[in-house]
């Protein structure tokens, strides 16, 4: 394993997205204390540490132990100026002091090395076990979900997390097939999906949406994002900034709802917002930019993975 410029790990590359925009938003001037809740292969973290100078400090975590070892190696030149732990960003408030950080970064989703390693089972482009766990201490795998979940719940997962239009048809077909043939590998499942929903001239592989849905579900990505935003907000100091990079609308909606709720000067009790029943509260958040920031055309051309990235910046009041 060689971790150097470009963040290389077992022949895989992860090019961090929107680095310039992250640095602009977090302004890691010397001496700042920062946190990276999705350190991955350390691309953003190393840039942040470099910019924060010899007085700067970074807390970092990732739920993937491979990523953690790679990042630890990559950040070695900054030894003594960072603390890194295996775990989710929703656990950050358990080990980082309240109001401690000037800036926090969350760069959501999976990294290229995770996708490129067939053994991890995230991709339908190479054969591997149907796994998809970011944290391999977790028991539940994608194979467990596909083989044991009832068709109605599978259809919900495919629809809610993948917006898969054929969710019911696929779920029912899976339920029938697995009675005779358990799903064990990525290519087995991807090939099956292609047979069930054939279609010429499609722009994306037939299994793209289902694989996204399974990954989100196996890793409870949306639930952890909701609790994680609350946690990272606690470790930010007033005036500190939270930068979140999302890769699909489900994540972005959660970030927007979180920001709107904290920026609001009132709250409503119950599920329905009735203007007469609103109660005033102090806004805790300011949007630094009202709209999300997208990568430049040049970045998308150089790194197609960046094409769906959206960056949002919030400031704690
Ligand atoms: C897009 S990559 C981050 C890449 C990183 N910014 C870099 O420059 O190398 C996303 C990373 O977030 C991790 N991850 C996803 N959800 C997480 C969570 N809830 N807590 C901690 N890490 C998470 C994944 O394991 C993956 O390594």
pLDDT in tens, 46-62: 999 999 999 999 999 99
- Give CA–CA dist 179/252, Å, rounded: 38
Residue 113 Cβ < 6 Å to ligand 1? no
CATH code assigned at 159: 1.10.150.170
Contact 74, 3 (CB under 8 A): yes
CATH of the domain at 104: 3.40.50.150
Whether residue 118 lies inside any domain: the answer is: no
Ligand 1 in reach of 107 Cβ (< 6 A): yes
Q: What is the pLDDT of residues 228-265, one digit of tens each?
A: 999 999 999 999 999 999 999 999 999 999 999 999 99
Q: Is the CB–ligand 1 distance for residue 14 below 6 Å? A: yes
pLDDT at 13: 66
Domain end call among 218, 236, 266: 218
Q: Are residues 87 and 106 in the same domain?
A: yes
Asked whether 284 and 230 are in contact (CB, 8 A), the reply is no
Q: Whose CA is nearest to atom 2 of ligand 1?
A: 111
- Is residue 126 included in any domain, yes or no? no
Are the CB atoms for 205 and 190 separated by under 8 Å?
yes
Q: Are residues 234 and 203 in the same domain?
A: no
Confirm whether 124 is domain-assigned: no
pLDDT in tens, 211-229: 999 999 999 999 999 999 9
Q: Which domain holds residue 177?
A: 139-218
Contact, 279 vs 266, CB < 8 A?
Answer: yes
Atom number in ligand 1 closest to CA 45: 8
Residue 111 Cβ < 6 Å to ligand 1: yes
Domain end position, chosen among 153, 185, 218: 218
Ligand 1 center from residue 63 Cα (angstroms): 7
**Domain assignment present for 245:** yes
Q: Considering the domain boundaries, does residue 80 fall inside one?
A: yes
| Structural domains counted in the chain | 2
Domain end marker among 195, 218, 241: 218
Query: 193: Cβ–Cβ under 8 A, 6 or more apart, which residues?
Result: 170, 206, 207, 210
Residues 31 and 81 in one domain: yes
Residues 60-116: pLDDT tens digits? 999 999 999 999 999 999 999 999 999 999 999 999 999 999 999 999 999 999 999
**Distance (Å) from CA 55 to ligand 1 centroid:** 25
Ligand 1 center–CA 109 separation, angstroms: 6
Mark whether 244 and 260 lie in a shared domain. yes
Cβ of residue 134 lying under 6 Å from some atom of ligand 1: yes
Q: Which atom of ligand 1 is nearest to the CA of 135?
A: 25
Question: Ligand 1 centre from 110 Cα, in Å?
Answer: 6
């Amino acid at each position: 394993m060689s971790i150097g410029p470009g963040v290389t790990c077992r022949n895989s590359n992860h090019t961090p997205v929107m680095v310039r925009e992250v640095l602009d938003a977090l302004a890691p001037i010397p001496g700042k204390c920062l946190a990276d809740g999705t350190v991955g292969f350390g691309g953003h973290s190393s840039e942040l540490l470099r910019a924060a100078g010899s007085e700067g400090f970074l807390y970092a975590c990732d739920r993937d132990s491979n990523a953690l070892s790679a990042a630890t190696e990559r950040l070695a030149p900054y030894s003594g100026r960072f603390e890194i732990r295996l775990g989710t960003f929703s656990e950050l408030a358990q080990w980082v002091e309240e109001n401690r950080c000037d800036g926090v970064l969350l760069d959501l989703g999976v990294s290229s090395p995770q996708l490129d390693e067939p053994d991890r089972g995230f991709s339908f482009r190479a054969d591997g076990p149907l796994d998809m766990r970011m944290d391999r201490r977790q028991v539940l795998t994608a194979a467990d979900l596909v083989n044991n979940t009832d068709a109605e719940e599978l259809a919900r997962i495919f629809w809610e997390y993948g917006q898969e239009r054929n969710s019911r048809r696929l779920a029912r077909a899976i339920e029938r097939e697995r009675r005779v043939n358990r799903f064990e590998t990525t290519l087995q499942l991807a090939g099956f999906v292609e047979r069930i929903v054939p279609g010429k001239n499609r722009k994306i592989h037939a299994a793209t949406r289902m694989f996204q849905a399974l990954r989100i579900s196996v890793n409870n990505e949306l639930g952890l994002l909701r609790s994680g935003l609350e946690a990272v907000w606690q470790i930010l100091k007033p005036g500190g900034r939270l930068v979140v990079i999302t890769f699909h609308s489900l994540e972005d909606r959660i970030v927007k709802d979180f920001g709107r709720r904290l920026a609001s000067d009132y709250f409503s009790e119950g599920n329905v917002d009735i203007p007469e029943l609103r109660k005033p509260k102090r806004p805790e958040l300011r949007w630094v930019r009202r709209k999300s920031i997208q990568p430049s055309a040049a970045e998308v051309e150089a790194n197609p993975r960046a094409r769906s990235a959206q960056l949002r910046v919030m400031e704690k009041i």
